[in-house]
Structure 1
């Protein structure tokens, strides 16, 4: 009889998740070989299937993107993650897929921006007010000496709630408008927007920008002006070619993109005289890296 998988809470800190991602890249993982995400339209939205494997572990995330859930008071992202033993493919652990996504996506952004940000970067302009916005604030605080946060949201009340949360962390935080990117050291976009959130001409040359809100070729959070001005970085060129609307709609050529492995190992150039833009669509190897790190903390098993 097969032993049922352990149920694991997602308790890694943002810093631990960042370290897990960095470790697999420095150990030689090539993100260009990562399997493509499978998406299936369903009446409620979309089902996503994301498998990955290495020598020690395999795993698969089944995620739902339910567009009407926020109006019901439910998370927009749902799902589960099944972690398997690599050599035998025995089920080892089952994790909350939404919690895993809420941790690993900001960790990927933090990993990239830690390399791309100006060393003195202290002011974050944060677009979005959902779980990813809170997760990105936590992850960026783990790797950057943030002192100020400007929250830009579609609705005033959630934006003020996030700003109040940031003030509770000791940050100088307020709500603002898209024009506040003029003063930004870091800009992070984690929204459901399908059209640009701000004028890319306003972003200072010293700033680093990340967009994580979409994985569709016809949706974007930043405009072509920012893309044309910026040095460009992605998780993998192959994934960006399929899903990174921010880059595809701006006509960015694949040859202009550096991937995360190149950024981590120093093979990618990071200029300081123009913005640096990181576009993330989410990849299965990231879920596997963080889920495996969680599994290797046995005290979390229940």
Structure 2
């Protein structure tokens, strides 16, 4: 029997950023432990690598297969391409194939918003986005679902890209403005929420974040790349998806520790945050550092399957 396939357009029509966030929250509250998730598998291939991201719950099992080809941008092709394969856990029979870009574009901002809903001040309204790609725009959508954003500023290495992203967001009704590098320092100081959506290897903001602000760093899963200065990581409350995963993949954590050892117990898990065992700090910044984990894709894929009536009970 042919396995149903959903395109990016169909997926975006089925599930909102808020629904993706709630799907992640539900998986944790239903008893899933992110620390039990399998590690991401990387296999060299061609000019890049293949990434395999498998995960399983009592009812559903899935794997995202990604190809990462850094030279593709010069050829007018996406750097990352992916498909998601969803099965039922009992028989491992295929249920649904999903276009992977939309799953990732929904999942990553949803994880950020899930954490920021606890870590950002209740009245947070000023958002700074560093980056101007799909994740930058997706994070605006996800964060606007948890806080009334009155001011959105976008900064990017490419001013044209920042202007284009800001224009798109304005057309969608958001108060978005592109800023130049000379404005980034002041914007960082003033922001209630800062979201770094870049592939940078070195810090993209300065350590001038105000106490109580929420900083999201989601740009890489490499231990030798970071978006935040180590001094900011050391003086902040830091939430990661899973501590073991963070020490393996989160350059913002690993490199801050290499600069100067982080104290024992400095990292808190997303699971503990969602379960109410960690509270936001008001006397220092609040950081959420994510690298992307397989269970997150599975949670969103399940929500999409059920919304499309391709779930187990359909």
Match of 2:123 among 120, 123, 134: 120
**Counterparts in 2 of 1:39-118, with a 5 A limit?**
39-118=42-121
Which residue in 2 is equivalent to 1:153?
Answer: 156
- TM-score for both structures, normalised by structure 2: 0.91
Contact 2:120 2:280 in 1 (8 A): no
- In structure 1, the residue matched to 2:11 is 10
Measured in 2, the distance between the counterparts of 1:296 and 1:54 equals: 15
Number of matched residues?
298
Structure 1 residue ranges without an equivalent (≥5): none
Q: 2:276 maps to what in 1? A: 266
For the Cα contact (< 8 Å) 2:200–2:225, is it kept in 1?
yes
Note the C-alpha offset of 1:297.
1.4
> Matched residues in 2 for 1:226 and 1:40: separation?
33
- In 2: Cα distance, 1:69 partner to 1:148 partner: 34
How much does 1:172 deviate?
2.6
1:249-271 Cα deviation digits (max 9, x unpaired): 00135621111110011111321
Contact 1:241–1:254 under 8 Å retained in 2: no
Deviations 1:135-182 (A, max 9, x none): 111111111111111101111111001111222233332112331211
Superposition RMSD in Å: 1.5
TM-score by length of 1: 0.95
Report whether the alignment pairs 1:229 with 2:228: no
Partner of 2:189: 182
Is the aligned partner of 1:168 residue 2:171?
A: yes
> How many angstroms apart in 2 are the aligned matches of 1:253 and 1:33?
24
Say which of 260, 264, 276 aligns to 2:286: 276
Partner SS state of residue 282, structure 2: coil
Runs of 4 or more, structure 1, over 4 Å off, are none
CA distance in 2, matches of 1:148, 1:77: 31
What SS does structure 2 have at the residue aligned with 1:84? strand
Give SS of 1:191's match. Answer: coil
Map Cα deviations across residues 171-202 of structure 1 (whole Å, 9 max, x no partner).
332112331211111000111101100111x1
Per the TM alignment, residue 106 of structure 1 is displaced from its structure 2 partner at its CA by 0.6
Contact kept, 8 Å, 2:238 with 2:268, in 1: the verdict is yes
